[in-house]
Structure 1
Amino acid sequence: MAGAAYRAGRGPRRRTARRGSHPVSTATALDARTLVDLLRTRAFGPFTGVPCSFLGPVISCLEAEYPREYLIAANEGEAVALAAGAHLAGRKPVVILQNSGLGNTVNPLTSLCHTLRLPVLLFVTWRGRPGHPDEPQHELMGRITTEMLTSMEIAHEVLPEDPAGLAERLGAAEAHMAATGLPYAFVVPKGAVAPYPTTPHTAPGPRPLRRAEAIGHIVDAMDPRSLVVATTGKTARELERDFDRPENLYVVGSMGCASSVALGVALHAPGRRVLALDGDGAALMRLEAMATIGRHANTDLCHVLLDNEAYESTGGQPTASAGVDFGAIATACGYRATADVADSAALTAAVRHAQDTGGAQLIRVRIAPGSDPGLG
């Protein structure tokens, strides 16, 4: 492997947790319920999209108070297409997305909504906003977010800070969409929406593995020379914190791409075992990757899917994984074998078996939601 592609380290080791981010002041933040009610008063809905922590409170409000009005989408392009269909059926849809997902929306926004004049209302968060420190994967997109919207001929403005201002600008957005047939976007900075109170739910029965525990069992069971590609978010952070090593690649950003990166490594690193640490939300966002992996079933790739049924990094909003049989999909795509595990012994056995027998194999690991608050 080219050493530059992997983060340097001094072998597997336990590391102390990162310092958590500072809380954001909500002195001028909009109440999530107020924002939702203002939209519903103007008959906007349904709502669809992929979560971002900046708009997590809005999604939590919708799930708690108007669950039939919120459609979970696997990626942002799908959300735009769902919204286009809702508009054709006479609704006034709203799409919620992180600006890192704008790239996924370019095709449906420019070739579907623009061509057929299908106006959808967008709420696009502004990660990486210039002058506001953020994680490195958001830096470039933060600089070009408004430029991208302008290039797609989507009128946009920063989300107003007060309900009266938002009510007025929603009217202007509605008038613009009616006159042009084009989408309109509100760009949402960090802290623009106040937290929405939620009650943690504890499922009955034995406690599932936590993600960090599962990662520990995987690292202990795998060939120590394995090249590991970890998906963005909490998975990469926990792997880096607890088991940083030169053979690890932490895919910050690029949600859904880790398994494809791992396949690319496996195809061109003969003699090395490759292990992809994936997540349910990430896998659903780029489900087509499983079809490509299946076409290369002789590749020595162990695809481990850590499934907590949630977008953990953005606040724990649900994914659609609860109703998805990833093993059946992998089998249909051509994977050599699959396993579905929920405890440490079964996980350890599955990783060892997959690497001993070789070929593309999927291991779905049922884990508990939640993570260390100090992880960052």
Structure 2
Amino acid sequence: MTSATLRAPAEPLAAVAVADALLGAGFGPFYGVPCSFLGPLIQVLQDQHPGLYQAAGNEGEAVALAAGARLAGRLPVVILQNSGLGNGVNPLTSLCHTLRIPVLLLITWRGRPGHPDEPQHELMGRITPDLLAAMEIRSELFPANLADLPAALSTSAEHLKTGKSFAFIVPKGTLAPLPAEPRADDGLALRAEAIAATVQASDPATLLVATTGKTARELERDWDRDGNLYVVGSMGCAASVGLGVALNAPDRFVTVIDGDGAVLMRMEAMATIGRSAATRFTHVVLDNEAYESTGGQLTHSAGVDFAGIAAACGYRSHVDVSGMAELGAAVRRAQADPGPHFIRVRIRPGSDPKLGRPALTPPEAAARFARAARA
């Protein structure tokens, strides 16, 4: 990228106009993992162009889906946030580059230098342009003005003819937000209530590992303690981190409080957990069928039999609950018998709009948890 391209939009672009420009230039279908920066575009595609956007479990899967679409004669687009770019490195380098299957990437720029962001985005934000360059993927900042978009899309299409991928880096505020679509109150509990039920039913010495996003933030706000680990970033890795703790602290109860989107992103962890010797390990999945931290886009969890998958993977017990009394009972049973155990909790989306960030820095939280785990 050249420094001349590093300018802010005169005003946020309308997602409808951006979608029309992409489709008018022949681009589509779209595959990806949601990011709030591009949430408006995803919403427009889902609402006005059904079937053109396909959510993927992780960014690498999205790249592979796009490669298949390219082979079938389409001009696919991969939507992702740069914090997940690492998941796409392997297919971008060993699949797309090797086979010369180029795809267009829309990559949001979290952690952009000089723009305050969360700590988990700082390193990737700093290296995103250089990482793309190292992969021999040409990148440009997404056009700041709608009038510049057709020419930019034409340039990207011409570049794809070389057999190499092209990336637009999308800063925060590029797209104008759309009104949130309310979801019906189905009588299910909120995530904070499910976290409370899990904590209250657990042995007081249980080591708790919470997945990234609002799960970790609500656990810290309501139930902060030394034995809590708040995993920030690294979506999908909380279960594996917890398993690593459980296998090496076998006398401690370890409970992972996970989310449906995170489990779908790293479902291989369930196979490893199920075949492990972590007898005091409990995997609680809070399923609201949404990527709530990025705008509430739907996950695929509604059609997934998580308990059945847990059974097939070898978990000693597996249960699907929706009531908080059921959840508490399931947690107590799990800690009374050898595991590993799996509990899926159906909840509804929603959280306190004033929900803050963890007070401790990530290194401080990790160091505190390590001391508790070794005690």
Tell me the TM-score normalized by structure 1: 0.91
| Structure 1 position 27, deviation (Å) | 5.8
**8 A contact 2:9–2:145 mirrored in 1:** no
Q: In the alignment, is residue 74 of structure 1 matched against residue 74 of structure 2?
A: no
| Cα shift readout 1:31-55 (whole Å, capped 9, x = no counterpart) | 1111111000012110010011111
**CA offset at residue 375 of structure 1?**
1.3
Please show how residues 159-198 of structure 1 align to structure 2 within 5 Å.
Answer: 159-178=142-161, 180-198=162-180
Is 1:276 equivalent to 2:256 in the alignment?
yes
1:373 aligns with 2:353: yes
1:242 counterpart = 2:222: yes
Amino acid at match of 1:219: V
Amino acid at match of 1:327: A
Aligned-pair distance for 1:363?
0.2
Q: Distance in 1 between matches of 2:19 and 2:294?
A: 19
The aligned counterpart of 1:16 is: none
Distance in 1 of aligned mates of 2:292 and 2:115: 23
Residue of structure 2 equivalent to 1:20: none
Partner of 1:102: 85
Q: Deviations over 1:56-108 (max 9, x none)?
A: 11111111111210101000000000000000111110000010111111110
5+ long unaligned stretches in structure 1: 1-24
Higher relative contact order (CA 8 A, sep 6+): 1
Give the equivalent residue in structure 1 for 2:294: 314
Q: How far apart, CA to CA, are the structure 1 residues paired with 2:64 and 2:55?
A: 13
Alignment check: 8 A CA contact 1:48 1:83 kept: yes
Q: Does 1:137 align with 2:120?
A: yes
Aligned-pair CA distance for 1:298: 4.5
**Partner of residue 337, structure 1:** 317
The residue number in structure 1 matching 2:306 is: 326
In angstroms, what is the RMSD of aligned CA positions?
1.2
Q: Which residue of the other structure, out of 39, 42, 45, is the alignment partner of 2:25?
A: 42
Q: Deviations over 1:337-369 (max 9, x none)?
A: 001000111011001001111310000000001
Alignment partner of 2:201 out of 221, 231, 241 = 221
> Which secondary structure state, in structure 1, belongs to the residue aligned with residue 183 of structure 2?
coil
Instruction: Return the letter of the residue paired with 1:342.
Output: S
Letter paired with 1:346? E
> Residue 192 of structure 2 corresponds to which residue in structure 1?
212
Please report how far the alpha carbon of residue 300 of structure 1 lies from its aligned counterpart in structure 2 after TM superposition: 1.1
1:257 Cα offset (Å): 0.2
Q: TM-score, structure 2 length as denominator?
A: 0.91
Alpha carbons 2:10, 2:145 under 8 Å: kept: no
Which residue of the partner structure matches residue 370 of structure 2? none
Provide the secondary structure at the position in 2 that maps to 1:252. coil
Given that 2:210 and 2:258 are in contact with CA atoms closer than 8 Å, whether structure 1 keeps it comes out as: yes
1:290 to 270, 282, 294: 270
CA distance in 2, matches of 1:298, 1:111: 35
Partner of 1:91: 74
Alignment CA distance shift 1:298-1:136 (3 Å): closer
2:95 maps to 1:112: yes
**Counterpart amino acid of residue 96 in structure 1:** I
Q: Distance in 1 between matches of 2:240 and 2:113?
A: 30
Residues 324 and 297 of structure 1: is their aligned pair in 2 closer, same or farther, counting only changes over 3 Å?
farther
CA distance in 2, matches of 1:313, 1:333: 28
Q: Distance in 2 between matches of 1:276 and 1:73?
A: 23
Report the equivalent of 1:128: 111
Query: Is the Cα–Cα contact under 8 Å of residues 230 and 277 in structure 1 kept in the other structure?
Result: yes
Question: Percent same amino acid among aligned pairs?
Answer: 65
Of 329, 333, 353, the residue aligned with 1:353 is 333
Query: For 1:55 and 1:370, how far apart are their aligned partners in 2?
Result: 20
**For 2:179 and 2:120, how far apart are their aligned partners in 1?**
29
Report deviation, 1:199. Answer: 2.8
Amino acid across the alignment from 2:129: T
Compute the displacement of 1:270 (Å). Answer: 2.2
Note if contact 2:247-2:278 (Cα within 8 Å) is conserved in structure 1. Answer: no
Residue number in structure 2 paired with 1:22 = none
Matched, 1:254 2:234: yes
Say if 2:259 and 2:285, in contact at 8 Å, map to a contact too. Answer: yes
C-alpha contact 2:247 2:277 (8 A) present in aligned 1: no
Question: SS at 1:352's partner residue?
Answer: helix
Instruction: Give every structure 1 segment of 4 or more consecutive aligned residues whose post-TM-superposition deviation is greater than 6 Å.
Output: none
Question: What residue identity is the alignment partner of 2:103?
Answer: V
Unmatched tracts of structure 2, length 5 or more: 1-7, 357-375
